[in-house]
Structure 1
Amino acid sequence: MRRLALAVIVAGAFLVPATPAFAHGGDAPDATAYRTTVTGISTPEKGLSVRTVEAGARLELTNKTGHSVEVLGYSGEPYLDIRPDGTWQNINSPAAYVNETLTGDPTAPPTWRKLSSSTTVRWHDQRTHWLSPGLPPQAAADPSRAHRLRSWTVPLREQVRTFEIRGTLDWEPPPRAWLWWGIAALTGLMAFGLLRRWSWAVRPVALLGAFTPFAYAVSTALDGGAPSLVLVLAGLLPLAAAFRHPPFYLALSGACLALFAGFTQAGAFDAAVLPTAGPAWLSRALVTTALGVGVAMALTGVLRLRAALPPGKPEVSEDRTIVIA
């Protein structure tokens, strides 16, 4: 059991850097202060939908209309073509050059290459982002509240008919990180008190801890991110500890939970917009719970390990005096 546990820790350590950056998993590198929102399509059509994914980093368009829909580039040229048989990209589009470091010429006839057979496409679009360095002037003048920076549009075309995706870009102030750290500490104290006072509390506390990384991983996936294997691992260990919890395994599962689902996700406390679905406060609550419960489980396991150690053997000194170690 101990060798397996150590293998799990080593595997997790190698997986963390590859976790989608929190990418998606570690410390929320894709979190941001800018909220990109799709407000609608100028002429809605059944089967055509658009949303933001990855904390607003990309737009995602799904075309199930049965006909082709083009996304126009920064110079009004064809950029993407979402057809019934898949998604195609015009490699002569300057948008392809800007977004993917290809060469482009907006005056050249489109040269299409097939990207995939999917009718859903995601792309980075500069028209939806704040590209200037530093804070927006509104935010610099008053960083205590949210500011509407601008409305934006991304043009679409269906044969000769043009229409557009419409949305807004806002700046939002960061949350109070100290408050979330305080909630995490309070959660840890409460969980530790339960575990120390009642042995039956191990199962519900461990199940609560196991739920948090699973829920966070699902929330990340719903926002378009890749599922995090590290978060799944961080949830499996306390899930197993809920049904079989010797002290060493309790300490191990708690430490992994606190590290992989708590401390490495603590960037959620500092950013307003997170790469997760649903309200940001719910994602932060999951991280605080993982932190508090994980630390409480680890500390409880360590204390139980110490209590289970055999007492020291008496030693006899040269003058035959018995010394208790």
Structure 2
Amino acid sequence: MIPAPLRRAAVVVTAALAALLALAGPAAAHGADAPDGTDYRAEVTGIGPAQPGLTARMVEAGARLELTNRTPADVEVLGYSGEPYLRIGPGGVYENSRSPATYLNRTLAGDTQLPPEADPAAAPVWRRVSDGQSVRWHDQRTLWREADPPAQVAAAPDREQRVRDWVVPLRAGTGTIEVRGTLDWVPPPDAYPWWVAATLGFLVIGAAGLVPAGTATGVRALRGAGALLALGGAAAVALTVGKALDAGAAGAGGVLLDLLTGQVWTLLTGLGALAAGGYALARRPAADFALALAGACLTLFAGVSNLAVLSRSVAPVAGPPDLARVLVTVALATGLGAVAAGLLRLRTASRAARNTPATPVAR
């Protein structure tokens, strides 16, 4: 017989997961072609000649180039054959439906089949795609799209080195502007120390489930596991904010919008781990079940889904790559540890319940 608190917790968790699925479904395509990590670092080095109000940067671990035009005049981005591709200005963002770049740049692989109307020599047909003053796109000139590394990288993969300098041409009126940048090979890190740290953390936290629940030591063990799970939840929230910033979100409103549309799984997982950690700290009923479930979600959505960060030199997270690796390692260790501790405590409680003699009914 499942205890009533456990049944109630299961109902609450099932409802929460259903809500999570409903929220996350429409956002599944957001950043779907953004890399989980890469060893190629793309950077914008400048715009020449400089134009006040015209800025460019790389976002999504270098997968997209972002151009912002706050000048009073339109600026055109030229495609791969020199044709007008994008137009950005006070009236919004427009794309030329006759430019092959419009279709090729929709995916990171650049493998979209061109429609018959794609003709770089044809007169532009402009289609409005946004009312903002910024646009982001996959530009093949900034990327390394081959499966094999460049020859110089293959010859010395342990050395950071320049792959190429790149230029994306723009047109403002009758003048030409260039967005200039670099593409570098950065040797990948050794993932072994991070796996060791995650394993040790898992073992330490999971050991809390071996302490008898009915003792003072067991109470402290439960609270310790809850505190560490909450730490993992905070790491997951920080990871989602870092991903939103790397994806180009600007300001508190932009970050919040990206969190609610593009990073909702990891965000809700982190918040759930924080709540479950607090639940365990308060020694509430079904805290063991909450530990195990929140830990499993944290492991999957904040840990496993970001494993590439541990073995790639460029992470899709704003800030130092090592910070992203720390956050993923903490999420993995605390999530797996909470699963082990929660399940072990549930198993112990179930055995104790079976071994407890039934109280005779008074007549």
TM-score range, shorter chain: 0.7 to 0.9
- Identify the residue that residue 232 of structure 2 maps to in structure 1: 209
Q: TM-score, normalised by structure 1?
A: 0.86
Out of 160, 177, 189, the residue aligned to residue 175 of structure 1 is 189
Could you tell me which residue of structure 1 aligns to residue 60 of structure 2? 54
- What pairs up with 1:112-127 in 2 under 5 angstroms? 112-127=126-141
Shift in CA distance, 218/145, structure 1 to aligned 2, threshold 3 Å: same
After TM superposition, list the pairs within 5 Å mapping 1:282-293 onto structure 2.
282-293=323-334
Counterpart pick for 1:135 among 127, 130, 149? 149
Offset of residue 300 of structure 1: 1.7
Moved more, 290-299 or 100-109: 100-109
| Aligned partners of 1:99 and 1:124 also within 8 Å | yes
**Deviation of residue 202 (structure 1)?**
4.1
Deviation at 1:287, TM superposition (A): 0.8
Residue 276 of structure 2 corresponds to residue 241 of structure 1: yes
The equivalences for 1:266-285 within 5 A come to 266-285=307-326
Q: Which whole-Å deviations, capped at 9, do the CAs of 1:14-40 have from their partners, x for residues lacking one? A: 95997568948xxx8542222111111
Distance 1:125 1:50 in 2: 13
Equivalent residue of 2:327, what SS?
A: helix
CA deviation after TM superposition for structure 1 residue 217, in Å:
1.0
Quote the Cα distance in structure 1 between the aligned partners of 2:240 and 2:292.
Answer: 23
Q: Give yes or no for contact 1:21–1:30 (8 Å, CA) kept in 2.
A: no
- Over 3 Å counting, the alpha-carbon distance change for 1:203 and 1:38 in structure 2 is same
Shift of 1:305: 1.8
Percent sequence identity is 46
Moved more, 181-190 or 113-122: 181-190
- 1:149 equivalent to 2:192? Answer no
Selected match of 1:303 from 314, 321, 344: 344
Q: How does 1:14-25 map to 2 (within 5 A)?
A: 19=28, 23=32
2: CA distance, partners of 1:219 / 1:44:
29
Structure 2 unaligned spans of 5+: 1-8, 107-113, 212-216, 249-257, 281-286, 358-363
Counterpart check, 1:3 vs 2:26: no
Q: C-alpha offsets along residues 41-89 of structure 1, whole Å, 9 cap, x if unaligned?
A: 1122222111111121111111111211111111222211102010111
CA–CA separation in structure 2 for the residues paired with 1:234 and 1:277: 20
**For the residues of structure 1 that align with 2:39 and 2:30, how far apart are their CA atoms?**
16
| Cα drift, residue 207 of structure 1 | 2.3
- The code of the aligned residue for 2:196 comes to G
TM-score by length of 2: 0.77
SS of residue in 1 equivalent to 2:355: coil
Query: Where does the alignment leave 5 or more consecutive residues of structure 1 unmatched?
Result: 315-325
The Cα RMSD (Å) is: 2.8
More helix by share: 2
Distance 1:136 1:96, change over 3 A: same
| Matched length | 312
Q: Does residue 74 of structure 1 match 2:111?
A: no
Taking a change above 3 Å as real, the CA distance of residues 270 and 12 of structure 1, as seen in their structure-2 partners, is farther
